[in-house]
Structures are given as structure tokens and as C-alpha cells.
Amino acid sequence: MENPVDLSGKVAIVTGGGKGVGKGISERLLEAGAQVVICGRTKPEQLPMGGDREAIFTRCDVRDVEQVQACVEFTVNRCGRLDILVNNAGGAPSAEAATVSPRFSEAIIRLNLIAPLNFAQAANTVMQSQDEGGCIINIASVSTIRPSPGTAAYGAAKAGLVNLGTSLAVEWAPKVRINAIICGLTETEQSHLHYGDEEGLAAVGRTIPLGRMAIPRDIGDSCLFLASPLASYISGASIAVHGGGEVPVFLGVANADTGN
């Protein structure tokens, strides 16, 4: 029986694929046999590895449309094709919506919404020319489906990214599939900046029904599924990879007698 998640012969780009969630995605695709090109503004100290494969790095600021086009061209020239694009690069520092500058908000939306659109357009041009087409996976956030205080522009951009995928899935079918992953709270090498020490991470994990935060490999597994033939009829969808979400606050404070 053939391995349904064997990506041998496939070529992927993972934006921001050298660290955090992006690294977990890159490693998982490499393990499945894909050639993986990662891009970012700086080269990571250690390139992602999977099996006997190492990712290929090319420098690219995803906010610069000319660099985006150059990244896609580099990949096709180096690897011969492009089958998978994972729009992972993004993020935002905390900032109060009442006082943040318009320039800051525009930059956040450009990074988290406009840049993935530009990358998707460049990738689609290549994929439409291939007999087997391709697939695009947009990495969204739980900020898409719940309030995002402190990162309002980021949450709005990620919500826009999910909606964008539903439209592109119609426009670019049947050659190209587009889906989104709504990524939950994830433990990475920078988690301490947001959640504190190990005790803080554990406390956050206890607010999640599955009892822990995600790890990058969890997101990588979901990308592997969406990029594989197992998802050949899935397009325009969003998959929540968040461990069941967040336990509603009212359950911890309510004291009503529920007995009969």
C-alpha cells in the first residue's frame, strides 16, 4: 500500500520556515520527502532537517513583492517546480488599538494579509502551468475566531487571510487548492516572551481542553495532511488546530447549582 502522505518529488516553499512554527512545518514536509525552500530576512543558524534532507534557504522579505517574485523564481530554477506554498511568516507585537499609529497598523496588515496574497499570486502562476497544479496553505490564528485585544490589527488581518483563501479557492480551482490552518497557542523557542517560565507555560496549557499548548510539529502534521492526496477534495476550508480552543471563563467562575 502506498504511503498516502509521501511527498517525494514535491517542492514546497515555507515562508518564515527557519524557526518556531515554520521550522516545525519545514521539518515535517522534509520528513515526508519534499524538497523544502525556506525564506526569511536572515538565514537561521541551523537549517531545518528531516530524514536525510536539509531545507534550502533564500533571503526574502515577504513584504517586498519583488523579493517574493524572486523567491518563487529561485525555487523553480533550483528545484524545477513548485507544488506547495505555506504562508507562515507573520506576527505582531502587542499594541493598544486606541493609541497605536496608523503606520504600525498598516505594517501589520501588510505582513499578515497583503504579503501572503502576493506570495499566493506568484505561486499560483507557476502552479497553474503544471499538470498537477498545487496547493497553498495559509497559517492563521485563533485570533481569527475570537477577540484579539492588544493585537487587533493582527486578528483582523488573520481573519481576512482565512476569507481570502475561500475566494481564491473558487477563482483558482480546479488546479490549485487553498486552505487555512487556525493555529492555536503554540510553544516555541520564544514562548517565554509571552507566557513566562515553565510554570507559566503549564498554566496556559491548563486552559486548553487537551491540556497543553501545541508544538510546531502539530501544525506541521496538519500541513502535511493538507498538502497530501488525502486532502485532494479539500479546498476553501479552515482547520482549527487549537486543542479544543479555550475553556470558557464562565465555567470557572459560575456557582449555580446544576443539580436536579
Longest dimension (CA), the chain: 70
Catalytic residue flag (residue 195): no
- Cell 499566493 -> residue: 120
**Which residue stretches of the chain are H helix?**
20-31, 65-79, 102-109, 115-128, 152-171, 192-195, 198-205, 216-227, 250-253
Q: What angle do CA 31, 91, 202 make, to 5 degrees?
A: 75
Active-site position among 154, 172, 195, 225: 154
Q: What is the end-to-end Cα distance of the chain in Å, rounded?
A: 54
For every residue of 215-246, DSSP letters joined together read -HHHHHHHHHHHHSGGGTT--S-EEEESTT--
Point out the residues that are catalytic: 154
